[in-house]
Amino acid sequence: MTEEMGDFLAPYEGLIDVSLFPGDHQNLTSFHKTFTIKDYKSPAGGIPRDYAAVIVQDVLHLHESPHKFLELLYRTLLNASEIIILQKNGSMSFPEVESLLDQVEFRAINAITDFIEGYDVIVAKKMHMWGKGL
């Protein structure tokens, strides 16, 4: 998926930063920055309000502190930005992910079914001037 995103954004000169948790990854050089995360205890954060969107793939169910992980991601997002969570089907139930997102103040939480075969896709928004979004 990361290669497809890079190809999609190339004509617009869009930049993608990638944080890689342990596992097998393709060696792609088309990214602005690549960060290697040593384990599933460590955060994958950036500076506050640095990103317009964050995509989390196959990490949330493995992270030792998913609530804290989402809080850090929340801070890295600009106001009115989105988080997209991709998880292999059945890794975590939608109500469980929805509850975590809601606790961290993400809103407009939606599951998208039958979008990517074999994956659950959940999208949520950091609302401007809501909760911790100030």
Residue 7 CA to residue 59 CA, distance in Å, equals: 23
Q: What is the CATH number of the domain that holds 53?
A: 3.40.50.150
Q: Which among 76, 73, 78, 82 is positioned nearest to 124, based on CA atoms?
A: 82
Domain presence at residue 118: yes
Residues forming a β-bridge with 119: 88
pLDDT digits (tens, 9 = 90+) for 24-41: 545 555 555 665 655 656
Domain presence at residue 132: no
Q: Helix (H, G, I), strand (E, B), or coil: what is residue 1?
A: coil
In this prediction, residues 80-87 reach a mean pLDDT of: 88
pLDDT band at 63 (very low <50, low <70, confident <90, very high): confident
Q: Helix (H, G, I), strand (E, B), or coil: what is residue 61?
A: coil
pLDDT digits (tens, 9 = 90+) for 91-131: 999 999 999 999 999 999 999 888 888 889 999 999 876 66
The sign of the dihedral angle between the CA atoms of 112, 66, 90, 35 is positive
pLDDT digits (tens, 9 = 90+) for 39-61: 656 656 666 777 788 888 888 88
Q: Give the domain range for residue 68.
A: 2-126
Domain count, the chain: 1
